[in-house]
Each structure stands twice: as structure tokens, then as C-alpha cells.
Amino acid sequence: MDWATAVTTAISAFIGGLIALAGVVMTLRHETKTRKEERIDRAKPIMINYPARAVENRAHVPHYHFHASEGTVPSEKYGVFKNTDNGILFLDYIKTQTKEYYPQRNSAVAKNEAFIVILHLAEGETLTECRIYCHDIFGNKYYYDAQYDYDSDKERRILIGNIQAVK
């Protein structure tokens, strides 16, 4: 084998090795990204409406009180929800058309747990638009559109409209 053939063969092997290495790096990046997205999806909190009649003893169900920064009137609205077993839910705040309401204490909801949200209304609150903002254990923020309406028991309460949280 002459010298030119040996150099050509070495260069070809080197270029082939670089292409293979680039392919491995691209595959690893894609797999890492996919695993991260799957991990986030597995931790995404899924909040659902929960029938009020299904809560046997309301004293044993966590209550989360939300107040506006300004004074509130002696009127309150509530919603009964359940966090599915997908991920831990952290309630951040509730935003209406006119006000923002913040939780008074810790707002972490465990997996597969029913809970009650009590909204202490501010003066002049119409509750025509309502969004419940939350986040997951990774800090990804989500919201649920909600409304004040009748549930299947014909009881007026806060209900969420979308089954999946919006990012």
C-alpha cells in the first residue's frame, strides 16, 4: 500500500469517526431532552372538580383561604377540587377580572388529595372571570380557567373549565 492510499484511508476513517461521534452526541441530546420533558409531564399537577357530596367530613379536608390585598367583604365563594396522583400541586394565586387573591398559608396539595378553596371576596368583585394559578415541583407555572357556576348538585361554587393545566 502506498503512502497516498494510507493517508486517504486514515482521513476517511477520521471523518467517519467524527460523523459517528456527532450522531451519538445528537442522539444523547435528544434523549436527554425527551427524558426531561417526560419527567416534567409526570410531575405536572392535574386538578379536577370534585363533587362536594363526595367529601364526607369537610373538617378533615384541607382548606386554602385566598384573600385580596385590599379589604374583603363578609362574602366568600368556594370550590371543591382534587389533585390527581400525577404530581404535587402548589397553589400560587387566583386572578379575577378585577383582583388578585393570595393564599394565607402554605398552599401545597399532596397527590391524590381532595381540597377546598375558599375565596374571600373583595368589595365589588363580580367573579365573571377567574383563573387559578399554580406550579409544580420544578417551578413550571400553570393555570386553570374557572368560573362561578352550578355543579351537578345544583350548588353554586367555583368550577374549573379546562381538564389540563395551561402552561
Q: What is the pLDDT of residues 13-32, one digit of tens each?
A: 989 999 999 999 999 999 99
State the Cα–Cα distance between residues 164 and 145, nearest whole angstrom. Answer: 10
- Nearest C-alpha neighbor of 120 from the set 162, 52, 70: 70
pLDDT in tens, 76-102: 889 999 998 888 999 999 998 888 999
Q: What is the pTM of this model?
A: 0.77
Cβ-contact 152, 98 below 8 angstroms = no
| Average pLDDT of the chain, as a whole number | 86
Type of residue found at 85: D
Q: Helices (H), strands (E): how many in the chain?
A: 1, 10
